[in-house]
Structure 1
Amino acid sequence: MESNPILPHRYFVLNKPYGMVSQFVSPDNVQLLSDLEFSFPEGTHAIGRLDGDSEGLLLLTTNKKITRLLFQGEVMHNRTYLVQVREVISEATIEKMRAGLEIKGKGGGFYNTRPCQVKRVEKPADLFDPAGGYILHPSIRNSWITITLTEGKFRQVRKMCYESGHKVLRLIRISIEDLELGDLLPGQLKELSEADFFSLLKLPTEQVTG
């Protein structure tokens, strides 16, 4: 019997829209990755998942090694989020977030976040409101910041902002290492070569196959 050929792995970058979960199937009535107008190869899965109420850069691949290499290895990888919070955030609060905060863990107990990069930024000029998301009235005071983490605890960015006294209104992942969301619109995706994918994410090329 002739063996099946081993197909090369494929790598995708998606701008996940608000309200879509990072899954292809679900028992719940939710918007799924399979609702996208694209024929993904068998075995495609999301890595570095985003919650339904979060937006932005989501990686998809047929390579099962990527999650371990990117998020479970000894080398820490930066991931950056653009965050809109309610009220004006102070420099003192930003400094506390940079130093690390105690947040509630997923299974109970508390966790001290690692030091991270937090910067105040101007409101993006070309950012679309999320379909079905929280649309902010122009009179409500708010701030925009970027947060760059090397860890990804359950709803960590939202919990860090909450512990700092600010409600998150929008949360958009804009990059992982040098792989940026760029000009992809919500719901759009692009395919990258294996070499570019590993290079931009700063992954060890000797472990490409799997």
Structure 2
Amino acid sequence: MIYKPYGYLSQFQSNSTQQKNKRFLGELHNFPKDTMSIGRLDEKSEGLLFLTTDGKLSDYINSQKVEKEYYALVDGDISQEAIKQLSEGVEIGFEGKKYQTKSCKVFKLNTLPNLPQRSKKIRDDRHGPTSWVSITLNEGKFRQVRKMTSAVGFPTLRLVRVRIGNIQLNSMQIGDVIEVKNSFF
């Protein structure tokens, strides 16, 4: 498992010439041949990412059987109404069509999460209030959490995946890699 840093793609090498100035996970560690990420975090997202050479494990973790929890720093003091909308599901765009997200667990964090400082500065409260929310999903569409928070009027400023199933970031630091055995699921 790895704490994927902000600014990296969840892959190991470039698939096109358009990505030649991008950063890839392979720069962070000497991973075994044929290592792949299980699921993805977009370039601007960070946090817990599993890596494997086992396709069956990848399929299981990507299935809707395994929860993924995210902490999202949103622009504004998120309202209870917005939290209710998020938890019941909202309409987002996905692959050029409208998509209704499934119900999920959402709550506002009462204290700041204990996360490492991000490499790129995030705007501060001088530009208006912000708030942190926890969003736990069993699905994972492209940029889903960002699209969900925008749909209720509170765009995401920072997104960190903090848990997959029962495995948490805990005290991992940005870029840390920890080898684990498959028996943890």
Q: Same fold (TM over 0.5)?
A: yes
Structure 2 counterpart of 1:76, which letter? Answer: K
From 111, 115, 122, give the equivalent of 1:135. 122
Supply the distance in 2 between the matched residues of 1:195 and 1:103 (Cα, whole angstroms): 36
**Residues 1-210 of structure 1 mapped to structure 2, 5 A cutoff:** 13-26=1-14, 27=16, 28=19, 29-36=21-28, 38-72=29-63, 76-105=65-94, 107-124=95-112, 126-132=114-120, 134-139=121-126, 140-196=128-184, 198=185
**1 CA distance for matches of 2:135 and 2:55?**
27
- RMSD, matched Cα: 1.4
The one-letter code sitting in structure 2 at the alignment partner of 1:86 is D
Structure 2 counterpart of 1:32, which letter? F
Segment drifting more, 141-150 vs 20-29: 20-29
The two structures have a TM-score, normalised by structure 1, of 0.82
Q: Of the two, which has the highest radius of gyration? A: 1
Q: Which residue identity lines up with residue 33 of structure 1 in the other structure?
A: L
Residue identity over aligned pairs, in percent, reads 38
Q: Which runs of 5+ in 1 are unaligned?
A: 1-12, 199-210
1:125 and 1:49 map into 2 onto residues whose CA distance is 22
Query: Structure 2: which amino acid aligns with 1:30?
Result: K
Distance 2:49 2:131 in 1: 24
After superposing on structure 2, the runs of 4+ consecutive aligned residues of structure 1 that deviate more than 3 Å are none
Equivalent pair of 1:129/1:135 in contact (CA under 8 Å): no
Residue 94 and residue 144 in structure 1: after superposition, are their counterparts in 2 closer, same or farther (change >3 A)?
same
